[in-house]
Amino acid sequence: MFDVKRMNAFDSARRGGWSGRVLTRRVPRDAFRRVKLPWVPNLVQMSPADDAGGSGVAVPDSGTTVYDLADNCDFEHVEPGEYYLGTVNGVVKYGVFVDLSDDVSGLVHSSNLGGSYDVGDELVVELDEVREDGDVAFAEVALDEYDVERVEPASNDVGALGDFVGEQVTLVGSVVQIKQTNGPTVFQVRDATGIAPCAAFEEAGVRAYPEVELDDVVRIEGHAETRDDAVQVEVDNLTVLAGEQAADVREEQSAVLDEVAAPHDIDPLVEWPALEKLWDDLEAVAQRLRRTVLEGRPIRMRHHADGDGICASVPLQVALERFVAETYEDPEAPQHLLKRLPSKAPYYEMEDVTRDLNFALEDRTRHGQKLPLLLMLDNGSTEEDTPAYRNLAHYDIPIVVVDHHHPDPGAVEGLVDEHVNPYLHDEDYRITTGMLCVELARMIDPDLTDDVRHVPAVAGLSDRSEADAMADYLALAGEEGYDESELRDVGEALDYATFWLRYDDGGQLVTDALNVDCDDETRHHELVDFLAERAERDVQRQLDVAMDHVEHERLDNGAHLYRIDVENHAHRFTYPAPGKTTGEIHDRKVAETGDPVITIGYGPDFAVLRSDGVRLDIPEMVEELKDEIEGGGVSGGGHLVVGSIKFVSGMRVSVIEALVAKMADAEIDEELGSSAPLVED
Ligand SMILES: [Mn+2]
């Protein structure tokens, strides 16, 4: 029996001989690929180092490195001539079997063994031989002093998991969702290349790894499998990384994510200096939205329930859906992470925000999702939005606004994270939100371009934009086969569909009507014809009745005033609603008279106002009426010449009388029209 000291890291550490350095060696990513031990006869036949008195045990110089393989290392990590920590897992007559990792084991023949060992003992070995049958033999190495270096396999990229189905994989990344199913706990784990579901099973419906929280950096060892045609990792082991290790991962991945989130560099659909002023702002939003997707945060879109709002939100939704699908292995991710909803009011109402918040908190509880980012489109710039924003501020819900309504920057500043608005660049409503968001959608996914060339023209016509660029946008839509009347029909069809959809997003119906991500062009045209025809018929029906009840008077300033009781002299709860009915009557009277015209459509407790050629200031008038009509309960607003006002029904006569008196005092200004609803001084 040879008296060879049994050396292992623990013993030498105890004797002070171990440097105590535990390093992590990076192995090339390719090295991870798990391979069956190659059949290479006698390829690796090592000659032992200096012989220790014929024992067969090599005694190298001191100060050498011994590698400690992580459990999920494989034979790729074993190199001839290097030293490894092995653990005895079996003792036989002719030697001992050692494990270097879960997958790397071999025999140390007694001729290569210095001492006697029991199961569980550690010893340092080197590769001795790989036999023809694939069996591996090791030889013990006697070391006085050595450094232990930990070897972890390089982690896999989520984006390349599909190449490793059926194989062992390691992921390092952040947890972006923790969902408890009736079976396993599913952790959605993000690295710099994508997001993958990782299923860990404790017991049916029981939370696995309860210590893991959202945003933790984790290391997952498991197997890549396919489930419903998508890649999923079956977790064997999950470790939460802490301290510096986690910080390093975060930093490294964050830098890559910034690059991946960068918006695509696109050329605008038309050359338009006014739009160019907003380009940097749009790119910042594109970056923000892509980053939001990469971080696993849901996005909730709220848009004005009109043609421009649809033209803004639908292309963005499609672009984001495609980017989510690219980022996530889970094919259902787009429907879980993106929600688009119309807002009936031209601002973010308490009713809407309460629903959104409730929904977000429920998703967090039931599906372990992060709280969403709120994306406001074609509204959201004004003081009226701020109570809802303040409610969201109680939670981690960032707000991004893309709008072209006249903003109150002072009011929303500090509440919104990004705010794109032409008024912030000395431009105005003529750059519609649909025009802005088509470019934004293309920055997120440029492949969408062919689908959306006609959309800015629809948006511009729906919102009566008088932009110079409208000619270019109409020409662009012309190239796609749309003439102006068809584009107007698309806008009318959207308006009509949105009216009946009420609080629903309309899904495929709306994408078919707009012809974005629509797989059947014929259906699109037939649908638009049908909806636009119905819309026109309904408007005509409404006006046939209402026009007989329009009251006319001439105001002191010479303007025509038309009044219509939309509650009693128009069909209720049908298309068009009071606002549009009033607008249609107004447009007809403007065309008929060619003079300055004001139109009031009133119900029991509200009035809708439109004016052309008269310098009204509706928000100012509302403020005055609030003070002047005691007990009137007056509220409302809008823009200079388009707006609405609410009051208590018992005070209607007083409120409208006072309102008309103010209108009669207003200056005539032929330039000011409601076809340009948001023009200000
Ligand atoms: Mn708009």
- Is residue 653 one of the residues assigned to a domain? yes
Cα 163 to ligand 1 centre (Å): 46
Pair of tokens at residue 233: 């990792």
Residue 404 Cα to ligand 1 midpoint, Å, equals 6
Residues 222-281: tens digit of each pLDDT: 999 998 888 999 999 999 998 888 998 999 888 889 999 999 999 999 999 999 999 999
For residue 541, what pLDDT is reported?
A: 92
- 677 lies in a domain? no
**Smallest Cα–Cα separation from 309: which of 472, 501, 573, 534?**
501
Rounded to the nearest angstrom, the distance between the alpha carbon of 309 and the centre of ligand 1 is 6
**Residue 677 above 70 pLDDT?**
no
Instruction: Judge whether 103 lies within some domain.
Output: yes
Q: Tell me: do 388 and 519 sit in the same domain.
A: yes
Taking residues 355-383, what's their average pLDDT?
93
CATH number for the domain that contains residue 434: 3.90.1640.30
| Contact status, residue 272 vs residue 287, Cβ threshold 8 Å | no
> What integer pLDDT is reported at residue 209 of this predicted model?
97
The pLDDT, as a whole number, for residue 76 is 83
> Which has the minimum average pLDDT: 107-121, 122-136, 199-213, 665-679?
665-679
* CA distance readout (Å), 515 to 455, 490, 505: 9, 9, 15
- Burial, 377: exposed, middle or buried (Cβ in 10 Å; 0-12, 13-18, 19+)? buried
Please count the CA atoms within 13 angstroms of the CA of 508 that sit on its side-chain side: 5
Same domain, residue pair 145 and 174? no
Euclidean distance between CA atoms 137 and 125, whole angstroms: 10
The verdict on residue 539 lying in a domain is no
User: How far does residue 378's CA lie from ligand 1's centre (Å)?
Assistant: 5
Q: How far is the CA of 562 from the centre of ligand 1 (A)?
A: 26
Q: Do 307 and 245 have their domain in common?
A: no
pLDDT band at 675 (very low <50, low <70, confident <90, very high): low
- Whether 12 shows a pLDDT value over 90: the answer reads no
**460-501 confidence digits (pLDDT tens):** 999 888 899 999 999 999 999 999 999 999 999 998 988 888
Q: List, for residues 629-643, the tens digit of each pLDDT value.
A: 999 999 887 777 888
Q: Is the pLDDT of residue 164 over 60?
A: yes
Q: Are 217 and 246 in contact (CB under 8 A)?
A: yes
Nearest to 434 by CA among 276, 304, 336: 304
- Bridge partners (DSSP) listed for residue 473: none
**316 located within any domain:** yes
* Residue 474, phi then psi, degrees to nearest 5: -65, -40
Flag whether 537 is in a domain.
Answer: no
Is residue 442 predicted with pLDDT exceeding 70? yes
**How far, in Å, is the centroid of ligand 1 from the Cα of 432?**
5
- SS3 (DSSP) at 176: strand
pLDDT of residue 48: 39
* Lowest mean pLDDT segment, chosen from 175-184, 223-232, 373-382, 387-396: 223-232
Q: What percent of the chain has pLDDT over 90?
A: 65
Say how many Å lie between the CA of residue 116 and the centre of ligand 1.
83
Q: Is the pLDDT of residue 679 over 50?
A: no
Kindly state the average pLDDT of the residues 177-192: 94
676 Cα to the center of ligand 1, angstroms: 11
Model pTM score: 0.76
C-alpha of residue 351 to centroid of ligand 1, in Å: 21
In the predicted structure, residue 527 carries a pLDDT above the cut 70: yes
pLDDT value of residue 82: 92
Shared-domain flag, residues 191 and 227: yes
DSSP-derived pairing of the beta strands 22-25 and 146-151: parallel
> For residue 18, what pLDDT band results from cuts at 50, 70 and 90?
very low
Q: Which two tokens stand for residue 538?
A: 């309904």
For residue 158, is pLDDT > 70? yes
Q: Residues 578, 601: contact at Cβ < 8 Å?
A: yes
308 C-alpha vs ligand 1 centroid, how far in Å? 5
Examine the domain organization and report whether 113 and 220 are in the same domain: no
Would you place residue 91 in the very low, low, confident or very high pLDDT band (cuts 50, 70, 90)? Answer: very high
Single residue among 222, 257, 292 that ends a domain in this structure: 257
% of the chain residues with pLDDT over 70:
90
Do 295 and 387 fall within a single domain? yes
At 390 the pLDDT is 94
**Residue 642, φ and ψ in degrees, nearest 5:** -135, 130
Are 138 and 128 in contact, with CB atoms under 8 Å apart? yes
Q: For residues 68 and 149, is the Cβ–Cβ distance under 8 A? A: yes
pLDDT at 523: 92
pLDDT > 70? residue 37: no
Do 488 and 576 fall within a single domain? no
Domain extent, residue 166, equals 158-257
Mean pLDDT of the chain: 86
Same domain, 580 and 641: yes
* Residues 70/100, Cβ–Cβ less than 8 Å: no
Count of residues for the chain?
681
pLDDT at 558: 93
The region of weakest confidence among 34-43, 143-152, 160-169, 586-595 is 34-43
Q: What is the pLDDT of residue 47?
A: 38
**Residue 110 DSSP symbol:** G
pLDDT band at 55 (very low <50, low <70, confident <90, very high): low
- Quick one: pLDDT at residue 149? 86
Residue 3 lies in a domain: no
Judge contact between 298 and 369, C-beta under 8 A.
Answer: yes
Q: Is the peptide bond before 576 cis (omega within 30 degrees of 0)?
A: yes
In the prediction, which pLDDT does 509 show? 86
CB distance 681 to 651 below 8 Å: no
Q: Is the per-residue pLDDT at 44 higher than 60? A: no
State pLDDT tens for residues 570-614.
888 889 989 889 999 999 999 999 999 999 999 999 999 999 999
- Quote the CA–CA distance of 72 and 469 in Å, as a whole number: 61
Is the model's pLDDT at 15 over the cut of 80?
no
How far, in Å, from the CA of 622 to the mean position of ligand 1? Answer: 23
- 319 shares a domain with 199: no
Amino acid at 254: S
Please, which residues have CB less than 5 A from ligand 1, an ion?
308, 378, 433, 463
Q: Which of 65-69, 342-346, 369-373, 416-420 has the lowest mean pLDDT?
A: 342-346
| Residue at which a domain ends, from 151, 166, 199 | 151
> Which of 16-25, 223-232, 253-262, 345-354 bottoms out in mean pLDDT, i.e. has the lowest?
16-25
Question: What is the CATH classification number for the domain harbouring 229?
Answer: 2.40.50.140
Q: Are 278 and 414 within one domain?
A: yes
**Domains identified in the chain, total number:** 4
Asked whether residue 680 is domain-assigned, the answer is no
Beta strands of 181-298 (E only): which ranges?
Answer: 185-191, 194-200, 217-227, 230-240
How confident is the model at residue 591, as a pLDDT?
93
Whose tokens are 């069809």? That residue is 493
- Number of Cβ within 10 Å of residue 617's Cβ equals 17
The residue written with tokens 């830098």 in the block is 255
- Are 277 and 206 in a shared domain? no
Residue after which a domain boundary falls, among 151, 185, 208 = 151
Residues 253 and 140 in one domain: no
- Centroid of ligand 1 to alpha carbon of 502 (angstroms): 18
pLDDT of residue 58: 61
